[in-house]
Amino acid sequence: MTLKELRSGERGTITGFVEEHAPVRLLEMGLLPGTVVEVLRLAPLGDPMDLRVRGYRLSIRKAEAALINVERQGP
């Protein structure tokens, strides 16, 4: 599944990227394989997504989130 599919309040671990080479911008923001990501909230129209990554808050567009593969974590 991709990060785009997670709902508000859910967590997942990044397992890789849809494309062979991850966009450098995402890597620079700390979105690396093995990183736990929590969806804090979605904007009223669903874009952007507000995330907690490595102890800080980050907002990314759903188009970017669709490039990141994650494994959903339990409650």
Per-residue pLDDT tens for 52-75? 999 999 999 999 999 999 999 976
Enter the tokens of residue 67. 């490039």
Per-residue pLDDT tens for 38-55? 999 998 887 899 999 999
* 3-72: CATH number: 2.30.30.90
What does the domain layout of the chain look like in residue ranges? 3-72
How would you label 44-56 residue by residue, b for 16+ Cβ within 10 Å and e otherwise? Answer: eeeebbebebeee
Count of C-beta atoms within a 10 Å radius of residue 68: 25
